[in-house]
């Protein structure tokens, strides 16, 4: 299909979204990511039964923490699609890209950059 | 085990916001099992605090250490050589660990990182319920292994009271009446005659009513 989507998204492959931990999400922000979204299989279609539900809970947990520390909970999101839905993958990529552009860069990057200068 | 709950991150931030070198100290025992203060939770809190301080434009060192236990001298000694590097310690152990840590290292402020709740069991992941009030005088032998002190809202010794309806307690329809559980259990054990006994007033001097308690065993002391 070769559908194009923004190059600003870095894909981290995991065997199942159930592998994604709240710490992985937080570390991504700590290292300067402007947003993180987790794309799992459709709910009810998890090969490991509960992996994508677990991921959703962890995304919610990360959202709460990011909100509490002033980074912004909207920077993290969970999406679900089936593996053959490339157009939808691109749609979600665009949606997330748009959302993050509206929110602006990760606020911790600015103090970090100032310190380095 | 001792069951603790997470402290809201805002509260922890309020505790530590004026320090620049902070040690987050986890505990590998009870609080790890109840997912409130183990290595994992230390990692999450450290990451969150690092980002919080960066966002505030502050340079703060946040280190992570998780000890086997914080209620024993030998494990707390493991950090003696590095404790002076920090302005404050956030202990994610139960209240016992926080206090023991504070007693041992008196020059460093030790702040609580969890809310210690009760002595309980893991009913399932994410659900911990109270089972023991540490009253110091165990009566489980006569109550079919179900404790009316910790599981009855009134802590009565001869129940159930008039508030027991269809096996539930009057304070909540989700709460089992401990005395109903005791009767059911004694019936299953064929020991209902135990239920007929009238228990005299409990000696509360071994509970908190007698002030802070201690267990002293000369046979094992060195």
Strand, coil or helix: A78: strand
Q: What is the DSSP letter of A70?
A: T
Check whether A116 has a pLDDT greater than 80.
no
The answer to whether the Cβ–Cβ distance between A27 and B47 falls below 8 Å is yes
Question: pLDDT tens across B151-207, in order?
Answer: 999 999 999 999 999 999 999 999 999 999 999 999 999 999 999 999 998 989 999
**Residue A25 pLDDT class (50, 70, 90 cuts):** very high
DSSP symbols for A7-64: TTPPP---SSGGG--HHHHHHHHHTT-S-EEEEEPPTT--TTSSHHHHHHHHHHHHHH
Mean pLDDT of all residues in A33-47 = 96
Which helix (DSSP H) or strand (DSSP E) does residue A80 occupy? strand A76-80
Residue position matching structure tokens 């309020």: B14
Q: What is the spatial distance between Cα B149 and Cα B147, in angstroms, rounded to a whole number?
A: 5
- List the single residue in A with minimal CA-CA distance to B55: A108
Between B40, B49, B55, which is nearest A71 by CB? B55
In this prediction, residue A115 carries a pLDDT of: 63
Strand, coil or helix: A86: helix
Mean pLDDT of all residues in B57-64 = 95
Q: Which residues of A touch B40 (CB under 8 A)?
A: 23
**Smallest CA–CA separation between A69 and chain B, in Å?**
5
Q: Which residues of B touch A115 (CB under 8 A)?
A: 59
Mean pLDDT of all residues in B114-133 = 96
Question: pLDDT tens across B25-44, in order?
Answer: 999 999 999 999 999 999 99
Closest CA to B176 of B166, B185, B186: B166
Query: B16 touching A, CB under 8 A?
Result: no
Check whether B138 has a pLDDT greater than 70.
yes
Mean pLDDT of all residues in B108-133 = 96
Check whether B216 has a pLDDT greater than 90.
yes
Check whether A54 has a pLDDT greater than 70.
yes
Q: What is the spatial distance between Cα B142 and Cα B147, in angstroms, rounded to a whole number?
A: 10
Question: pLDDT tens across A76-102, in order?
Answer: 999 999 989 999 999 999 999 999 999
Query: B54 touching A, CB under 8 A?
Result: yes
Question: What percent of chain B clears pLDDT 70, i.e. is strictly above it?
Answer: 100
Check whether A51 has a pLDDT greater than 70.
yes
Query: A116 touching B, CB under 8 A?
Result: no
Check whether A112 has a pLDDT greater than 70.
no
Between A22, A30, A66, which is nearest B50 by CB? A30
Phi-psi group of B148: left, alpha or beta (phi > 0 → left; psi -120 to 50 → alpha; rest → beta): alpha
Check whether A3 has a pLDDT greater than 80.
yes
Q: Indicate yes or no: pTM above 0.80.
A: yes
Query: A22 touching B, CB under 8 A?
Result: yes
Q: What is the spatial distance between Cα B20 and Cα B37, in angstroms, rounded to a whole number?
A: 22
Q: Which residues of A touch B57 (CB under 8 A)?
A: 111, 114
Query: A70 touching B, CB under 8 A?
Result: yes
Q: At A43, list the tokens.
A: 């709910």
For residue B120, the tally of other CB atoms under 10 A from its CB is 18
- pLDDT, averaged across chain B: 96
**B88-91 sheet: strands from edge to edge:** B61-67, B21-27, B88-91, B110-112
Q: What is the DSSP letter of A75?
A: G
Between B9, B40, B43, which is nearest A68 by CB? B9
Q: What is the spatial distance between Cα B64 and Cα B45, in angstroms, rounded to a whole number?
A: 9
Residues in chain A: 117
Query: B9 touching A, CB under 8 A?
Result: yes
Query: A33 touching B, CB under 8 A?
Result: no
Q: What is the spatial distance between Cα B171 and Cα A74, in angstroms, rounded to a whole number?
A: 39
In this prediction, residue A2 carries a pLDDT of: 87
Query: B17 touching A, CB under 8 A?
Result: no
In this prediction, residue A110 carries a pLDDT of: 72
- List the single residue in B with minimal CA-CA distance to A70: B52
Residues 62-81 of B with CB under 8 A from A: none
How many beta-carbon pairs under 8 angstroms link A with B? 45
In this prediction, residue A29 carries a pLDDT of: 96
Check whether B150 has a pLDDT greater than 80.
yes
């Amino acid at each position: 299909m070769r559908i194009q989507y923004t190059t600003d998204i870095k894909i981290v492959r995991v065997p199942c979204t159930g592998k994604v931990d709240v710490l992985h999400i937080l570390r991504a922000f700590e290292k300067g990511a402007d947003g993180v979204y987790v794309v799992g299989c459709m709910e009810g279609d998890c090969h490991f039964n509960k992996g994508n539900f677990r991921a959703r809970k962890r995304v919610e947990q990360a959202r709460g923490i990011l909100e509490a520390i002033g980074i912004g909970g909207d920077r993290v999101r969970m999406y679900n699609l089936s593996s053959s839905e490339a157009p939808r993958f691109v749609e979600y990529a665009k949606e997330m890209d748009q959302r993050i552009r509206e929110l602006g860069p990760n606020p911790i990057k600015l103090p970090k950059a100032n310190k380095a200068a | 085990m001792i069951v603790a709950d997470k402290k809201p991150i805002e509260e922890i931030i309020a505790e530590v916001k004026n320090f620049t070198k902070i040690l987050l100290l986890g505990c590998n025992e009870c609080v790890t099992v109840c997912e409130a203060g183990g290595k994992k939770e230390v990692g999450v809190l450290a990451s969150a605090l690092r980002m919080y301080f960066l966002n505030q434009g502050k340079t703060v060192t946040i280190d992570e250490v998780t000890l086997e236990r914080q209620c024993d001298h030998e494990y707390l000694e493991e950090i003696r050589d590095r404790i002076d590097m920090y302005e404050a310690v956030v202990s994610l152990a139960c209240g016992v660990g926080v206090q023991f840590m504070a007693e041992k290292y008196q020059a460093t402020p030790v702040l609580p990182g969890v809310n210690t709740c009760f002595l309980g069991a893991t009913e399932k992941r994410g659900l911990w319920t109270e089972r023991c009030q540490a009253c110091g005088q165990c009566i489980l032998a006569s109550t079919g292994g179900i404790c009316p002190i910790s599981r009855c809202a009134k802590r009565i010794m001869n129940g159930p009271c008039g508030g027991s309806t269809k096996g539930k307690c009057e304070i909540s329809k989700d709460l089992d009446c401990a005395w109903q559980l005791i009767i059911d259990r004694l019936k299953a054990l064929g020991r209902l005659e135990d239920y007929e006994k009238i228990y005299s007033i409990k000696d509360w001097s071994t509970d908190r009513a007698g002030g802070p308690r201690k267990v002293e065993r000369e046979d094992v002391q060195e």
